[in-house]
Amino acid sequence: MVEVKSIQKSFGGTEVLKGVDLKVEQGDVVAILGPSGSGKTTLLRCMNFLERAQSGQLIFDGRTYDLHKITKKEIAQIRRKTAFVFQNYNLFLNKTALQNVTEGLTIARKMDKAKAEEIARGALEKVGLSDRCDYYPSQLSGGQQQRVAIARALAVDPEIIYFDEPTSALDPELTGEVLTVMRKLAEEGMTMLVVTHEMGFARNVSSKVVFMEDGVVVESAPSKEFFENPRSERTREFIRLIQQE
Amino acid sequence: MSERLWGILVDSFPKILVPGLTMTLPLTAIAFAFAMVLAIFMALVQFANVPVLKQLSRFHIWVFRGTPLLLQLMLIFYGLPNLGILIEPFPAAVLVFSLNEGAYCAEIVRAALEAVPSGQLEAGYCVGMSYLQTMRRIVLPQAMRTAFPSLANSLIAMMKDTSLASTITVTEMLMASQRIIARTYEPLALYMEAGVIYLLFSTVLTKLQQIGEKKLGAYTAKEG
């Protein structure tokens, strides 16, 4: 469904992604693991064009795009079919929870207001926040804000949702409520690509794990295999370390 | 206070207040409206890095912040006729105050735009909105909220600066008071009276600022 090939990205003289390949099939929940600075977030941001890669291909819905030469119009088309959940939520601060969700429908997709609100209320109900529709982000807890962000992502009926460390800014209790929502989405068959440090999520919810370090994919395997039977020495060491915690 | 002086003050109050209402306030309001349009435009082209327009904005701001307002008024009203360009006093004042205030407000708005977290723009892109849509619906409204107190401050400062328009024969409050002084030789009392009316206007504007901030503050009410 979504695939990237030999994607390269440098900031200044530092090469952050050194030719990464990644494939996500429909219905997959792929967790990208790896130490800080390994390029996980950059990979995700390049896939949604928040960063422009120096080279590489993106295959989306059967069409191949050159990541460096892709046009604004093509980017807009792809973004319309994807959604992104940020580490620090990035809710529109001047909009209520409901407006945060409707904005992408009424403004970007020209849907009429009544229909957009109906969809938005449904999405907020799904993340357990139907009673917070008229609250501004500043009036919500971190966990609630992130759930609104997930509702905002769901509402546009995306083919894939990218999650960039969605729980890293939250305490354990709030992390729990966000992960519960994500698990529910996974069970419903939503295609998700998740950069995370949550080993429980990677092990129990995701179908596939991609382990990155220093801008390359070290290992990519189904979750069970990744945790129980890692192939590379570096992956074994990584799993040993997290199991000591 | 002598009865004569009291009589002068009572008599002159409407003669100063009326030019205040018909000149000072309209000049302030019209010039500020133009200034805001100019300021938002100049801030946006700088923020978006639009070539040429960005440099023109920087040049405009450099000139109008770098020279005295009084000189700008003199140049437009007394200088331009040398080139055959004659502008009536009131339009000349509107022109100079708009351009000058626009330069200052552009800097306020630009700083406020830059203070909006970059994630807001990214989030707009990710829900499928274009740059212009996100700027108009998300970034600019937040920036204007941030800029509001500074802009109100600048508006109050400009209202008082319109007294300089008296030098290009606009009959605003200061000029009105000076005419009465020329007749009565009571500068102390009459300048004080004019000062009180300016204070009255500033107080109303300050009150409006408070109301505006409260209204705009809805989404930041419980921050932290």
Q: What is the dihedral of CA A154, A192, A180, A221, to 10 degrees?
A: 170
- Say if residues A194 and A31 touch (Cβ distance below 8 Å): yes
For strands A63-66 and A29-33, give the pairing.
unpaired
Exposed/middle/buried for residue A109 (C-beta within 10 Å: 0-12, 13-18, 19+): middle
pLDDT digits (tens, 9 = 90+) for A142-169: 999 999 999 999 999 999 999 999 999 9
> Given CB atoms, is B142 within the 8 Å cutoff of chain A?
yes
Mean pLDDT calculated for residue range A202-208? 93
Three-state SS annotation for chain A: CEEEEEEEEEECCEEEEEEEEEEECCCCEEEEECCCCCCHHHHHHHHCCCCCCCEEEEEECCEEEECCCCCHHHHHHHHCCEEEECCCCCCCCCCCHHHHHHHHHHHHCCCCHHHHHHHHHHHHHHCCCHHHCCCCHHHCCHHHHHHHHHHHHHHCCCCEEEEECCCCCCCHHHHHHHHHHHHHHHHCCCCEEEECCCHHHHHHCCCEEEEEECCEEEEEEEHHHHHHCCCCHHHHHHHHHHHHC
- Say if residues B206 and B155 touch (Cβ distance below 8 Å): no
Mean pLDDT calculated for residue range A209-213? 95
Alpha-carbon A224 to chain mean position: 21
State the Cα–Cα distance between residues A134 and A95, nearest whole angstrom: 9
Q: What percent of chain A has pLDDT over 70?
A: 100
Q: What percent of chain A has pLDDT over 90?
A: 86
pLDDT band for position A54 (cuts 50, 70, 90): very high
Non-local (6+) Cβ contacts of B95 within 8 A are B76, B87
Q: Which two tokens stand for residue A228?
A: 């129980």
> Given CB atoms, is B120 within the 8 Å cutoff of chain A?
yes
> Given CB atoms, is B215 within the 8 Å cutoff of chain A?
no
Question: Which domain covers residue B217, as residue numbers?
Answer: 3-223
State the Cα–Cα distance between residues B208 and B214, nearest whole angstrom: 10
Q: Cβ separation of B119 and A104 shorter than 8 Å?
A: no
**Residue-level pLDDT at B221:** 54
Q: Cβ separation of A86 and B223 shorter than 8 Å?
A: no
Residue B128 is nearest to which of A86, A90, A156, comparing CB atoms?
A: A156
> Given CB atoms, is B141 within the 8 Å cutoff of chain A?
yes
The DSSP code for B51 is T
pLDDT band for position A239 (cuts 50, 70, 90): confident
- Nearest CA of chain B to the CA of A113: how many Å? 15
Q: Which of A78, A91, A95, A107 to mutate to test the interface with B (most CBs of B within 10 A)?
A: A107
Q: At what angle do helices B187-216 and B173-184 cross, to 10 degrees?
A: 160
How many CB pairs (< 8 A) connect A and B?
78
State the Cα–Cα distance between residues B191 and B173, nearest whole angstrom: 10
CA atoms in the 13 A half-sphere facing the CB of A202? 23
Q: What share of chain B is helix, strand, coil (3-state, %, to 5)?
A: 85, 0, 15
A-chain residues near B125 (CB < 8 A): 49-50, 79
Domain count, chain B: 1
- Say if residues A178 and A153 touch (Cβ distance below 8 Å): no
Alpha-carbon B48 to chain mean position: 25
Q: Cβ separation of A136 and B218 shorter than 8 Å?
A: yes
**Residue-level pLDDT at B224:** 37
**Residue-level pLDDT at A188:** 93
Give the residues across from A83 on adjacent strands.
Answer: A161
Q: Which CATH number characterizes residue B17's domain? A: 1.10.3720.10
* pLDDT(A240) > 90: no
Q: Cβ separation of B137 and A139 shorter than 8 Å?
A: no
- Nearest CA of chain A to the CA of B133: how many Å? 7
State the Cα–Cα distance between residues A31 and A226, nearest whole angstrom: 11
State the Cα–Cα distance between residues B158 and B28, nearest whole angstrom: 7
State the Cα–Cα distance between residues A194 and A138, nearest whole angstrom: 26
State the Cα–Cα distance between residues A216 and A223, nearest whole angstrom: 19
Per-residue pLDDT of chain B (224 residues; tens, 9 = 90+): 789 999 999 999 999 999 999 999 999 999 999 999 999 999 999 999 999 999 999 999 999 999 999 999 999 999 999 999 999 999 999 999 999 999 999 999 999 999 999 999 999 999 999 999 999 999 999 999 999 999 999 999 999 999 999 999 999 999 999 999 999 999 999 999 999 999 999 999 999 999 999 988 767 754 43
Average pLDDT, chain A: 93
**Residue-level pLDDT at B217:** 77
Q: Cβ separation of B223 and A82 shorter than 8 Å?
A: no
Please name the residue of chain A whose CA is at the shortest distance from the CA of residue B136: A107
Residue B141 is nearest to which of A76, A94, A108, comparing CB atoms?
A: A94
∠ CA B80-B101-B50, nearest 5°, is 95
**Residue-level pLDDT at B223:** 44
Residue entry with tokens 């109900």: A125
∠ CA B13-B14-B19, nearest 5°, is 110
**Residue-level pLDDT at B69:** 97
Q: Cβ separation of B120 and A138 shorter than 8 Å?
A: no
Give the residues across from A101 on adjacent strands.
Answer: none
Considering only CA atoms, which of A135, A198, A26, A46 is closest in space to residue B219?
A135
